Structure 1
Amino acid sequence: MNVTYKKLWKLLIDKQITAADIRRATELSSCTMSKLRHDEPVSITVLLKVAAVLDCDISDMCEFEKSSVDR
């Protein structure tokens, strides 16, 4: 399965918050932000920090997609 953070980026646009704002508020590293931008897995702790800042649930920010191998 692959993770996608499309919902996160849409949520940021809807709330008029930049990725830089999230990075500062959560004190995430640039490497972690890069993982989010490239739909790479990050820890639950990271997702919980972002969810707390955005006042949302993890499921509001990401979802899992089946890859062709998983089908």
Structure 2
Amino acid sequence: MFYNRSLREVLLMVSYDKLWKKLIDLKLKKKDLKDITGIGSTTMSKLTNNEPVSMTVMIKICIALKCNIGDVMDVVL
């Protein structure tokens, strides 16, 4: 976790490794996730690069995969 003094915000580091493992277990590809959830290419890129995405996106993913948020992401401290 980093603190950006000029912006006065906490920058969280996230990992979506659990999401990719879950997709493998479900025999789904990233494109399938994109199609099922309706999330855009930019958001998929953020997920692939372990960048934070909105809570709305995470909820869409959890609903589509029938899981909890902790099943698809971790906050790295």
TM-score norm. by structure 1 comes to 0.90
Which residue pairs with 1:62 in the alignment?
Answer: 73
Secondary structure in 2 aligned to 1:3?
Answer: strand
In structure 2, runs of 5+ residues without a counterpart are 2-12
The offset of 1:11, in angstroms, is 0.4
Which residue pairs with 2:46 in the alignment?
Answer: 35
In structure 1, runs of 5+ residues without a counterpart are 67-71
Flag the structure with higher helix content: 1
* Superposition pairs of residues 3-42 of structure 1, within 5 angstroms: 3-42=14-53
The offset of 1:25, in angstroms, is 0.9
The offset of 1:58, in angstroms, is 0.5
- The structure number with the bigger radius of gyration is 2
Task: Report the Cα distance in structure 2 between the residues aligned to 1:29 and 1:64, rounded to whole angstroms.
Answer: 22
The offset of 1:53, in angstroms, is 0.6
The offset of 1:55, in angstroms, is 0.4
The offset of 1:18, in angstroms, is 0.8
The offset of 1:37, in angstroms, is 0.2
TM-score norm. by structure 2 comes to 0.83
Aligned length: 66
Task: Report the Cα distance in structure 2 between the residues aligned to 1:57 and 1:18, rounded to whole angstroms.
Answer: 19
Task: Report the Cα distance in structure 2 between the residues aligned to 1:18 and 1:54, rounded to whole angstroms.
Answer: 12
Secondary structure in 2 aligned to 1:56?
Answer: coil
Identical columns (%) = 44
